Each structure stands twice: as structure tokens, then as C-alpha cells.
């Protein structure tokens, strides 16, 4: 049987402040709605229209980002689509589709939102991690003052290269 892929990448704005709860073992769970926009051309009038899609988001282990998940904040996230069912108070079976973040980075891009401790809206991206920092740290490559000249060791100069 062939493999399948269930991968979602979204860039949008929070529709309301995230609701964060904790499991009995202390693991945080945040739920929020994310709005994404797309443009479509009306076939009859030829005019462009903006359409907003709303996504239900579930994010685990959000200790580092929960305070920044505020209404209006623009975020980038990755995850997977999950559908589940439940019974409402009247006993009716309901279905819901959610985007489940998978220990990913949530990037606050500035703009919108509120809150005293939120990152500045200077336009620079601030990367906040939803998983423990130790699990996501990667070594950075050493900075070089100039790129190495791979051809010089073979006696080839820049004038000899045909492109």
C-alpha cells in the first residue's frame, strides 16, 4: 500500500484569544480559530472577491506560546488534519475537523493582537516554539567572511568559468 501525506501549512490571523487548558499530568492544550484569506474571481462580474476560511486549531505543549496567542495575531503553523465525532447535549452525533499542530514552531509575524508582553510589531519575525526548546535547538553554521573558492585549488580562475 502506498504511503499518504497529511500535512497542513497555514498563515493567518487568530479569530479570538486561544483557550488554554492543562491535562491532569500538566501538559498544556490550546484551542483557537485561525482565519486565512484567498482571492477568487467572480465568473459573472469579473471582479475579485476576498473569501475568509476559518480553521479550528488544536495545539499541544504550548507553554512557551500560549500568552502570545491573542485575537488578531498573525501566525504561521504546521500540522495535520484530523476529523472526529462527538455527541452534543441533545445526544446528536456531531463531526468536527481540526488542524492539530505537531510539536511545531508558531511564528508571530507582528501586526494585530494586543497584550503587554507580546513581541513588538516591528516587522521582524519572532520565532516562538511550542515544543521544549532543548528538543528543537539546532547548531548554527559558523559564519564565513568570504565563500571558499572551490575552483582556485584546481588552477581555474573566475575568468575561465563560462557562466
Domains of the chain in start order, with CATH, are 8-39+47-136 (2.40.50.140)
User: Given this model, what pLDDT does residue 156 score?
Assistant: 53
Pick from 8-17, 21-30, 64-73: least confident: 64-73
- Is the overall model pTM greater than 0.85, yes or no? no
DSSP per residue over 23-41, as a string?
Answer: -TTS-EEEEEEEEEEEEEE
- Taking alpha carbons only, the member of 86, 83, 85, 31 closest to residue 59 is 31
Per-residue pLDDT of 127-141, as tens digits, reads 455 544 334 443 444
Say if residues 110 and 65 touch (Cβ distance below 8 Å): no
| Strand duo 8-14 + 74-87: pairing | antiparallel
Burial (CB count within 10 angstroms: exposed 0-12, middle 13-18, buried 19+), residue 18:
buried
Amino acid at each position: 500500500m502506498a504511503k499518504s501525506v497529511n500535512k497542513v501549512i497555514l498563515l493567518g490571523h487568530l479569530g479570538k484569544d486561544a483557550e488554554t487548558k492543562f491535562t491532569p499530568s500538566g501538559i498544556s492544550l490550546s484551542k483557537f480559530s485561525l482565519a486565512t484569506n484567498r482571492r477568487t474571481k467572480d465568473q459573472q462580474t469579473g471582479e475579485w472577491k476576498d473569501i475568509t476560511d476559518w480553521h479550528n486549531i488544536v495545539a499541544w505543549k504550548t507553554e512557551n506560546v500560549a500568552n502570545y496567542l491573542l485575537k488578531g495575531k498573525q501566525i504561521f503553523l504546521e500540522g495535520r488534519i484530523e476529523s472526529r465525532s462527538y455527541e452534543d447535549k441533545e445526544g446528536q452525533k456531531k463531526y468536527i475537523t481540526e488542524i492539530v499542530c505537531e510539536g511545531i514552531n508558531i511564528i508571530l509575524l507582528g501586526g494585530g493582537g494586543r497584550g503587554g508582553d507580546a513581541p513588538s510589531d516591528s516587522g521582524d519575525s519572532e520565532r516562538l516554539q511550542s515544543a521544549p526548546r532543548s528538543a528543537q535547538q539546532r547548531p548554527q553554521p559558523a559564519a564565513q567572511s568570504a565563500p571558499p573558492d572551490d575552483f582556485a585549488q584546481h588552477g581555474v580562475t573566475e575568468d575561465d568559468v563560462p557562466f
